Amino acid sequence: METGNLRADGRFAAADDHYRGPARAAVVVAADPRFARLVNERTVQAPEAAPYRPGQFYLRELPPLRAVLDGAGPLDLLVIDGYADLDPAGRPGLGAHLHAELGVPVVGVAKTAFRTATHAIAVRRGASARPLFMTAAGIPVEQAARLVRDMAGPFRLPDALRRVDALARGRILPRG
C-alpha cells in the first residue's frame, strides 16, 4: 500500500532540537504516515550549540539533528519543526539541507509565518484558528500539507511533533 509516492508501511520520523543550554535533539519514528504507532524514540545531547548567525539558522540546528538521526535507522520521510525552504525561489532552510544530506523527503512544519515564505501552505488542525505553515523538500508541498493535516492528534500541533519537542527540551524521557 502506498500513500502518494510514500510507502504506507515505511518508516516515518519527526525530529526536533533544543539549544538553550546544552543542545539536545530528539527523534520519534513511526511505522505509519499518520504517526499513530511510534516504534522508536531517542535523544542525544551535544556539548554546546553553535552561535546564531542571521540567515544561517540551519547551521545551529544541523549538528544535533545529524547526531540523533544517525541512530534512527533508514527513513522514508522526515518531519521537522521549521521550514524546508524559505521563499518561492527555493532558498534552502533546515529541511532542504536535511533533504540534501539524507536523501529522503522532508516536511517542514512551522508554527509561525516567515515573511518570505509566501509559498507555504497554511493547515488548520483541531479546533485551532491558527494555522501551521507547510513547506517541503523532495515531496510536493500539497502532499506534505495533507500528511500533516492527517497526522495523529486532536490539537493544532500533531502528537508526534508535540512529543519530539518535549523530548528535545528534556521534559520527558524516551520510552524504554
Domain range summary for the chain, segments of one domain joined by +: 2-168
**Which top CATH class is 2-168?**
alpha beta
Query: With 80 as the cut, is the pLDDT of residue 89 above it?
Result: yes
User: CA-CA distances (angstroms) from residue 149 to 34, 107, 154?
Assistant: 9, 12, 10
* pLDDT for position 147: 97
Confidence of residue 1 (pLDDT cuts 50, 70, 90): very low
- Read off the pLDDT of residues 23-71 as tens digits, 9 standing for 90 and up: 899 999 999 999 999 999 999 987 666 666 666 667 778 888 999 999 8
- Find the mean pLDDT for residues 141-167: 97
* pLDDT for position 163: 98
**47 backbone φψ class: left, alpha, beta (φ>0; ψ -120 to 50):** alpha
* pLDDT for position 53: 67
Confirm whether pTM is higher than 0.85.
yes
- DSSP secondary structure of 112-143: S--TT-TTPEEE--TT-SSPEEEEEESS-HHH
- Proportion of the chain above pLDDT 90, given as a percent: 74
Q: Tell me what the pLDDT averaged over the chain comes to.
A: 90
Helix axes 94-102, 58-70, angle to 10 degrees: 40
Three-point CA angle 113, 117, 123, nearest 5°: 55
Query: With 50 as the cut, is the pLDDT of residue 78 above it?
Result: yes
- Proportion of the chain above pLDDT 70, given as a percent: 88
Cβ atoms of residues 46 and 31 within 8 Å: no
Cβ atoms of residues 48 and 37 within 8 Å: no
Q: How far apart are CA 23 and CA 120, in angstroms?
A: 28
* pLDDT for position 2: 34
- Find the mean pLDDT for residues 142-149: 97
All three cell numbers of 28, joined, read: 520519534
- Find the mean pLDDT for residues 123-130: 95
Q: How far apart are CA 158 and CA 107, in angstroms?
A: 13
